[in-house]
Structure 1
């Protein structure tokens, strides 16, 4: 059932894309269906668009879907569509379950319109049940860990499942998953990024325009 809900949300988001759009292609299981539907529209409607992937995953999915790839160096983003691990009532997010949040934040924040696609389980009253992913330069992993603890966080280095050692991001860095009481998402986002050695963290504030929420009853569109 959850897979079908994600498919409906992803497919509905793909209907927002117009001919000629430059599209930010998010990462994750729900955006997989978004990219899949874009590929169908390219074939069925001869839709022409350019995609800017946020990870190797979305890059290869886009290639399979016959989406022409471009970069932020070459084009501005008309619309970005991405998933989230948590969404609060003010449209603050925690992202980074797929370890791609650094490029996701760059692409999503640069878009003229940013649409988040999730199933209903991702909607929360307060951020923080899901740990905050923090991407760290490997040489700074110990010092950053110590600072995260001083900030009241409980960091755990994310370990790979089918290789020995830590997860290595597309950028060649490590990930700490940090349990925090996220009382002020915007402040915490800034404070984490101020730590020397931190590349980016998974709190996203003040950039979401619309959230599509899939449930068993259908898809609800939430706007600010």
Structure 2
């Protein structure tokens, strides 16, 4: 699948132009985009990156990409990955543990370009939903999630860049992802969850026949 990931990531990088502020996502597919952007910066491309995780900060720095923190200014575009994408271009993200910062950067972006291989495109979500929770009383928060029908499991030995825990929540079916996102975030102790609703403007899919772009209508 690596060739499909790389194809999607490199296709997305063709949208980057001089003078842009570019959000840099987290995960195995986005690494190819970061490497390519670094090559373009070395050739004279004038952009500034905003990283969604400490891991991405390190990768971008090694690639020679100048970085800034997220502030009140909008980003021109963000390139990020996803664990699954449904037919409405809603996403499950957070497998890499950076869901909160990824969602903050996505909401600050004029364009959110998601890069995935074709296996991530699904008719209905099945990937366990990551939920970031504060450490205080996390078992109580887990009980609230269980009461909603989820089967939450603590992601062992993981503390997010924000100092929080992640509960990976299995489920039978997500009937209404938009309502679920709101319901989960109303639970005290939940910081945010990995449902990204109406945030992706484009999905670039790596397939055996090349990269294909799906745009929100």
**TM-score for the superposition, normalised by structure 1:** 0.94
Where structure 1 has 5 or more consecutive residues not aligned to the other structure, the ranges are 161-166
| Runs ≥4 residues deviating over 4 A | none
Q: Distance in 1 between matches of 2:175 and 2:156?
A: 27
Show the counterpart of 1:57: 55
Which of 105, 108, 111 in structure 1 is aligned with 2:106? 108
3-state secondary structure, aligned to 1:68? coil
3-state secondary structure, aligned to 1:186? helix
Show the counterpart of 1:217: 209
1:76 is displaced (CA, Å) by 2.0
Q: Following superposition of structure 1 onto structure 2, how do residues 91-170 of structure 1 map, counting pairs within 5 Å?
A: 91-127=89-125, 129-160=126-157, 167-170=158-161
1:182 aligns with 2:183: no
1:17 aligns with 2:22: no
* Of 63-72 and 15-24, the range deviating more from structure 2: 63-72
Task: Tell me if the contact between 1:209 and 1:223 (Cα under 8 Å) persists in the aligned partners.
Answer: yes
3-state secondary structure, aligned to 1:67? coil
Q: Distance in 2 between matches of 1:74 and 1:90?
A: 29
3-state secondary structure, aligned to 1:168? coil
Show the counterpart of 1:164: none
1:200 aligns with 2:192: yes
Show CA shifts across 1:102-151 (max 9, x none): 00000011100110000001000011x10000001011211111100110
Where structure 2 has 5 or more consecutive residues not aligned to the other structure, the ranges are none
3-state secondary structure, aligned to 2:101? helix
Task: Tell me if the contact between 1:154 and 1:178 (Cα under 8 Å) persists in the aligned partners.
Answer: yes
**TM-score for the superposition, normalised by structure 2:** 0.97
3-state secondary structure, aligned to 2:105? helix
- Kindly tell me the number of residue pairs found equivalent between the two proteins: 215
Q: Following superposition of structure 1 onto structure 2, how do residues 32-71 of structure 1 map, counting pairs within 5 Å?
A: 32-44=31-43, 46-71=44-69
Q: Distance in 1 between matches of 2:57 and 2:211?
A: 27
RMSD after superposition: 0.9
Task: Tell me if the contact between 1:22 and 1:75 (Cα under 8 Å) persists in the aligned partners.
Answer: no
